[in-house]
Amino acid sequence: MNVALAIAALAVSAFAAFSFWKAGSFKATASRDTLLGAGFGWIEPLPIGVVRLIAWLELLGAIGIVLAPLAAYFVPGFGWAILVGVAAAAGLASTMLVAAIVHIARGEFKYTWKMNTSLFAASVIAAVLLSLVDVPLIG
């Protein structure tokens, strides 16, 4: 395993995980009025259950993007877990792609483009780096 590549993958993954954890935690616990007051206008037409689902998917992605590679690196026989980390990163990138589409449709992208693109890029870079780490998938 290329240690420098593994460390770089974990560093980018940790950045993405922190950001998605923070956003997911807020969406999972805040009231509809608090979310609307914080500028989350996109939730207005949605049932709160959909917002909570998005929050939990962000939280699970944040966990998977970090814990799965750590398991692959340090737990014998868990090399396959790197694929879970790649899938989590790809899922988070997809989340940001859909978020950008929603913000563009609502005319909000001029306010959210920095966060959307940086988290999309971090998730894609994490997925690519994790997929390049040479971890034995079996054994």
Mean pLDDT calculated for residue range 18-35: 97
Mean pLDDT calculated for residue range 13-18: 97
Nearest to 92 by CA among 111, 65, 132, 129: 65
Please check whether residue 137 lies inside any domain of the structure.
Answer: no
For residues 40 and 74, the answer to whether their CB atoms sit within 8 Å is: no
Q: What is the mean pLDDT of the chain?
A: 94
3-state secondary structure of 80: coil
Number of helices (H), then strands (E), in the chain? 5, 0
Mean pLDDT calculated for residue range 85-91: 97
- Check residue 138 and give its pLDDT: 62
Please check whether residue 86 lies inside any domain of the structure.
Answer: yes
pLDDT at residue 54 tops 70: yes
Its domain, for residue 120, covers 3-132
pLDDT bin (cut points 50, 70, 90) of residue 139 is low
**Contacts made by residues 2-8, CB under 8 angstroms, sequence distance 24+:** 2/132, 2/133, 2/134, 5/129, 5/132, 5/133, 6/69, 6/73, 6/133, 8/129
Please check whether residue 139 lies inside any domain of the structure.
Answer: no
- Check residue 55 and give its pLDDT: 97
Please check whether residue 72 lies inside any domain of the structure.
Answer: yes
pLDDT at residue 44 tops 60: yes
Please check whether residue 138 lies inside any domain of the structure.
Answer: no
Please check whether residue 83 lies inside any domain of the structure.
Answer: yes
pLDDT at residue 137 tops 90: no
Mean pLDDT calculated for residue range 104-128: 95
What is the spatial distance between Cα 23 and Cα 21, in angstroms, rounded to a whole number? Answer: 6
Torsion on CA atoms 66, 15, 92, 48, rounded to nearest 10: 100
Please check whether residue 36 lies inside any domain of the structure.
Answer: yes
Please check whether residue 21 lies inside any domain of the structure.
Answer: yes
Mean pLDDT calculated for residue range 81-92: 96
Split into its structural domains, the chain has a count of 1
